[in-house]
Structure 1
Amino acid sequence: MPASRTPSTPTIGMWSATTRRDGRSMRVFACILAISLALPGVAEAAPRRVASLNLCTDELLLMLARPGQIASVTHLAHKKAETPLWREARRYPDNDGSLLSIVGMRPDLVLTMGGGARDRARIAERLGIETLDLPFPQSLEDVEAGIRAVARALGREDAGRNLIARIDELQRTRPEVQRDTVWLGGGGRSVGADSLAARWMALAGFRQRPLRGDRISLEQLLVAPPEILLRSDYRSGQYSGEQRWLNHPLAKGTSRSRTVVTDGRVWTCMGPLMVGEIVRLRAGAK
């Protein structure tokens, strides 16, 4: 395994930021504040209601929270093409990823990832909405840190420990044989040999081949095919240039390589949904 990295630190509590107060931000704040003041009991204590503004935190929320805790997930979580959890996600109201779209639901915790507009941070603080902003994970340690942070915020530490235990078990039982592999997406897109994707691949016994620019050409697939061609099926039914590229015979594998199809949706966030996919890939690689 590559050397472990220090996990990124999530930002928890009220978002705070020092920003200039331009006219636009104050108009947005005034609009949301007016909505909040019109809601009955907005300042009263309420059972924990959690809204997520990012697909990756949608997945964490759906996997860790009690059903009664979920106030809203993003519209992407309702789409079959984006996440395996779409059926469960459709039990809850959706939002467009903005604070304005969920403030009327009166959440007392908002989850997001990768930061966001500073205006939104200041507005959330003024409305008394607690926030948890996770960094995009760069390592398996980061994935576990994100699970731990969300589970703690939800009061669901046991559920978090169970998910982390499954990742740890995959790491303990990592296959000794690592097969030369190219992860393949539309247009020849691949992943870095030291990326989070490659670290998940290693847990299934696949060693991502280093590629210049993290891409591979049809000519490279013909001249030097990998032992395993790990093809993402993300949006496979979509009509696009990238998908047409994947329909080329060489992108489907040659007699010198074995093609394995993987659920491209779980590679978007590369969070705990990867556990089930790695187990499936291990079984198929035998």
Structure 2
Amino acid sequence: MRLALTLALIAAPALAEGPARVVSINLCTDQLAMLVAGPGQLVSVSHLSRDPRVSAMTGEAAALPVNHGLAEDILRLRPDLVLASAYSAPATLDMLRRLDLPVQVFDPEEDLQDIRANLDRMGRLLGRRDRARAVIARFDADLAALAEMPGPGGRAALYGANGYSSGDQGLAGVILSLAGLESIASELGLPHGGFLPLEDLVLADPDLVVGAARYPGASRAEEVLDHPALRAVTAGRAAISGGDWVCGTPHVLRAAARLREDARLREDAS
């Protein structure tokens, strides 16, 4: 009895520290986990975390093994916890659960409160609540500092493949708002985003057009981005979104600050 009690007391701190082997199979849970996890706790992240076009933490991801979200990959890593997104492959998640692996699914962040909530949840799951609180506190301090910076004002369009444009109801809209910009998609009846005809974009005459980094090769979906009319609209007033925009992490503040700085540089050059 005494031996069992002693062993239980020894094991208690380890259990309180959270799972020892954590695997993330989604780009956004990758980054939340990298912000919060303790040394050696995160044993693999998704391969997308190393892609600078979509990831804000490529440097941190370079130090970790990557996976491709396949059940076979994950099983070999012997995780105590698997982190996934609502967009992760349902068949993979079902298989992992049938094999009795703990899986936690995160919904995508749509606003600043979602970022705080998911950071707090990640801290609780990993046994790193103090670290999560520190990240949130720094996030709020940086947000307050950003609010004190003068914004450029004006109207912006987020425009991508197939003429898709994001409105103000979502993470991209939050970034525009933090930068002091209004989304023309919302003006045109697309607060949640949707297809925006090029003609409507040209007539709206935004002060800034934000596009995404292009991948090598070509696709018909991206042909609209090479249209001469779009090039005329974006001349001298274009920006690239990049990895800071993709996931709901504190890096969205960096995206907003960069938009403000780009606007200042354009003003100085004019």
**Do the two structures share a fold, i.e. TM-score over 0.5?**
yes
Q: Structure 1: any 5+ residue segments left out of the alignment? A: 1-44
Query: 2:258 aligns to what?
Result: 280
Q: Deviations over 1:107-139 (max 9, x none)?
A: 111111117637835743753x33322112222
SS in 2 for 1:101: helix
Check if 1:228 corresponds to 2:171.
no
In 2: Cα distance, 1:153 partner to 1:82 partner: 25
2:23–2:74: 8 Å Cα contact kept in structure 1? yes
Please tell me the residue identity of whatever aligns with 1:64.
V
Aligned partner of 1:259 in structure 2 is 237
Letter paired with 2:84? T
Instruction: Output the CA distance in 2 between the equivalents of 1:90 and 1:64.
Output: 17
* Equivalence for 1:181: 156
Amino acid at match of 2:241: D
Which range moves more in the overlay, 240-249 or 166-175? 166-175
> Equivalent pairs: percent with the same residue?
30
Preserved contact between residue 170 and residue 203 of structure 1 (Cα < 8 Å) = no
Does residue 108 of structure 2 align to residue 136 of structure 1? yes
Counting matched residue pairs gives: 239
Q: Give 1:120's match in structure 2, choosing from 88, 93, 97.
A: 93
Q: Does the 8 Å CA contact 1:137/1:143 hold for their aligned counterparts?
A: yes
Q: Secondary structure at the match of 1:100?
A: helix
The answer as to whether partners of 2:29 and 2:84 remain within 8 angstroms in 1 is yes
Q: Does 1:218 align with 2:193?
A: no
Deviation string 1:74-118 (CA, Å, 9 cap, x unpaired) is 122233443242343232222221333212211111111117637
8 Å contact from structure 2 (residues 151, 179) kept in 1:
no
Distance in 2 (CA, whole Å) between partners of 1:73 and 1:158 is 22
Name the SS of the counterpart of 2:233 in structure 1.
Answer: coil
Kindly indicate whether residue 69 of structure 2 is the aligned counterpart of residue 97 of structure 1: yes
Show the 5 A alignment for 1:1-286. 48-114=20-86, 117=90, 120-121=93-94, 123-124=96-97, 127=100, 129-169=101-141, 171-172=143-144, 173-174=146-147, 178-209=153-184, 210=186, 211-213=188-190, 214-229=194-209, 231-254=210-233, 259-286=237-264
CA distance in 2: counterparts of 1:161 and 1:112, whole angstroms: 22
More displaced 10-residue stretch of structure 1: 161-170 or 178-187: 161-170
Q: Is the 8 A contact 2:158 2:166 kept in 1?
A: yes
Q: Is the 8 A contact 1:166 1:275 kept in 2?
A: no
Q: CA, structure 1 residues 61+120, in 2 after alignment: closer, same or farther (shift >3 Å)? A: same
Instruction: Tell me how far apart the structure 1 counterparts of residues 153 and 23 of structure 2 sit (CA, whole Å).
Output: 40
8 Å contact 2:24–2:45 — kept in the other structure? yes
CA RMSD of superposed structures (Å): 2.9
Higher helix share: 2
Deviation of 1:285 after TM superposition, in Å, equals: 2.2
Query: Which sections of structure 2, spanning at least 5 residues, go unmatched?
Result: 1-14, 265-270
